Structure 1
Amino acid sequence: MSDAIPTDEFPIFLGSEIEQAAAEKAAFHVLPVPYENTVSYGGGTRYGPSSILKASWQLEQWDGKSKPCAQGIHTCEPVDCQQSPGEVIEAIAEATQKIVEAGAMPVVLGGEHTVTLGVVKGLINAGITDFGLVQVDAHADLRDAFEGDPLSHASVMRRIVNLDIPLLQLGIRAFCEEEIEARDRYGVRYLDADDLVPQRIQQIEIPEDFPKKVFFTLDIDGMDPSVFPSTGTPVPGGLDWYQTLNLFESVASQREIIGFDIMEFAPIEGFHAYDFAASLLTYKLMGLVERSETAKA
């Protein structure tokens, strides 16, 4: 994989603090995917990746507990999203496959949640088939199609379970009867927001028969709008900042994280605090991965 060429729109992650790590020497490959094709309410997710990258220049190397960047961070060229939906998904899959084959962890910045389907296909194409997906989200995304589109962001988890990928959902609080039926049909595990949030649950126990490798997908709307109103379909009653980090750490302590993504961030012009928060969240998750791997070594 060749070195990415940073641009004003898509600068390298944490570029004010570190040099771009060579692809073959970086533990983390940040992949921007500014894809937005299906919108249910508000838009703007195509601007999420560039906003996160720009805001990362305000981060410190020290994340509060360690320096994840010491493992090497390589920012990839953004995926070309000016194609048909199917072509975009295949381009995401190809980029993800290259990251895995380079021995790195994909850190994918979306874009609408459909992006995760391309990432999952890329993992499979790279020969990783024995993994599960842990999803933080306000929505189940298990409709077979939404507004006639099977590649809608509201159908992405249906497409993924159709690939026989086990799914564990956290923080869901908006779903329809079709999605409840899909949970039963595909054996989807879940801890919904009405349990997680009022009880302020910080740690979960992953079912013993859930795969040992996990890809973690985080839809920004899984967190409460008081933390992130910057998303197209905010739903009250979501996870807070520390609960989200603690749940991720809980998963990482029990399973091998093989990658993660941040989806559905839609920046609000003039409110850069949310851009910074999304960027810090990305870096915090890198740190949690790094420290969990060190603890298991």
Structure 2
Amino acid sequence: MDVLRIFGVPMDLGQTRRGVDMGPSAVRYAGLQERLETLGYEVHDGGNIEVAQVEEIKDRDETQSVPEEHARCLPEVSHVCERVYQHTVASVDAHERVIFIGGDHSISIGTVAGVAHHAAVGLIWIDAHADINTPGTTPSGNIHGMSVATLLGDGPRELTGIGQPGAKLRPEQVVMIGVRDLDMGEREKIRQSGISVFTMRQIDELGMGTVIRLALERLRQYARLHISLDLDGLDPEVAPGVGTPVPGGLSYREAHLLMEILADSGKVRSMDIVEINPILDDR
């Protein structure tokens, strides 16, 4: 029986909308472990990785590599992502499947660094946003919008240094699905990078089945895939409990088919589910 380990990461430091730290508790309460057990997994809940409360952060680290306003709570986010990285590596080494429940999307800096520690991995990024800003381009200073850039090696040293220093991915290892809200700087960066992006228009025109099979073909050389699911990739009518909702997202059935085909590939061993904000969920 396959072992699947769950970790909660109640991180809300990578953005400013309160409530996303309640995501792990909400997902557990909804019965995630029981659902996974019915699928035949031996599920172990590893509890929550400790995250500092924003109210507890008093003295700023004057030695950090970028100003606070360009990367908010950088030392604290880095510390949590380092812990996430360590837990990910331990689960991979134990040949366990692993799911991390956020928390904001900055936790993927640690999860992807962990799964990429021993071998190259393909990343499927399901999100309304590309999260490819840097401290030099960010309009907000929120680190959850810098995760992909950091994983490509373009970010503060405190984050690019997690795990093996430097880039954890090359652009050809990344496929984005459902992107529909990009900053101007992100548009140009994606064009230059060569990252494969499937927009909602392409999903509408081609259908999700075709899109995800094209994504898998793009990543065919990688034996392991990591899935990073930001709930704002779904339409707000389906998943209203997110901090940065964008209309025109994935339907329930599109998201379900996406996950079914990914599961059928046999390559998915790790996943993070992020940006769940129960305070904003009115369903």
Structure 2: which amino acid aligns with 1:156?
S
- Look up the match of 1:154: 145
Q: Structure 1: state its 5+ residue gaps.
A: 1-24, 274-297
- Look up the match of 1:73: 43
Q: CA distance change for structure 1 residues 57 and 77 in 2, over 3 Å: closer, same or farther?
A: closer
- Look up the match of 2:61: none
- Look up the match of 1:206: 215
Measured in 2, the distance between the counterparts of 1:100 and 1:236 equals 36
**Match for residue 111 of structure 1 among 80, 87, 103:** 103
Deviations 1:132-185 (A, max 9, x none): 110110111111232574x71011111112223421000000002211222133
> Shift of residue 58 of structure 1?
9.8
Structure 1: which amino acid aligns with 2:27?
I
> Shift of residue 201 of structure 1?
2.9
Q: TM-score, normalised by structure 2?
A: 0.77
Measured in 1, the distance between the counterparts of 2:33 and 2:218 equals 41
**Match for residue 238 of structure 2 among 227, 231, 235:** 227
Structure 2: which amino acid aligns with 1:229?
P
Extract structure 1 runs of 4+ deviating beyond 3 A: 57-62, 197-200, 251-255
Structure 1: which amino acid aligns with 2:227?
F
Measured in 1, the distance between the counterparts of 2:143 and 2:275 equals 13
| Cα contact 1:172–1:193 (8 A) shared by 2 | yes
SS at match of 1:114: helix
**Match for residue 36 of structure 1 among 2, 12, 16:** 12
| Cα contact 1:96–1:123 (8 A) shared by 2 | yes
Structure 2: which amino acid aligns with 1:143?
N
Measured in 1, the distance between the counterparts of 2:245 and 2:91 equals 31
| More displaced 10-residue stretch of structure 1: 110-119 or 198-207 | 198-207
- Look up the match of 1:196: 203
Instruction: State whether structure 2 residue 23 is matched by structure 1 residue 48.
Output: yes
> Shift of residue 222 of structure 1?
0.1
Measured in 2, the distance between the counterparts of 1:27 and 1:61 equals 11
> Shift of residue 207 of structure 1?
5.8
Measured in 2, the distance between the counterparts of 1:130 and 1:61 equals 27
Structure 1: which amino acid aligns with 2:31?
S
SS at match of 1:48: helix
| Cα contact 1:136–1:217 (8 A) shared by 2 | yes
Structure 2: which amino acid aligns with 1:72?
E
RMSD of Structure 2 on Structure 1 (CA): 2.4
- Look up the match of 2:134: 144
- Look up the match of 2:120: 130
SS at match of 1:141: coil
Measured in 2, the distance between the counterparts of 1:254 and 1:54 equals 29
- Look up the match of 2:86: 94
Measured in 1, the distance between the counterparts of 2:131 and 2:33 equals 33
Deviations 1:70-96 (A, max 9, x none): 220110021111271111110110111
Measured in 2, the distance between the counterparts of 1:134 and 1:86 equals 23
Instruction: State whether structure 2 residue 185 is matched by structure 1 residue 178.
Output: yes
Measured in 2, the distance between the counterparts of 1:57 and 1:106 equals 13
> Shift of residue 221 of structure 1?
0.3
Q: Structure 2: state its 5+ residue gaps.
A: 53-74, 154-166
| Cα contact 2:242–2:281 (8 A) shared by 1 | no
| Cα contact 1:203–1:246 (8 A) shared by 2 | no
- How many residue pairs match? The answer is 239
Identical-pair percentage: 24
Measured in 1, the distance between the counterparts of 2:113 and 2:280 equals 33
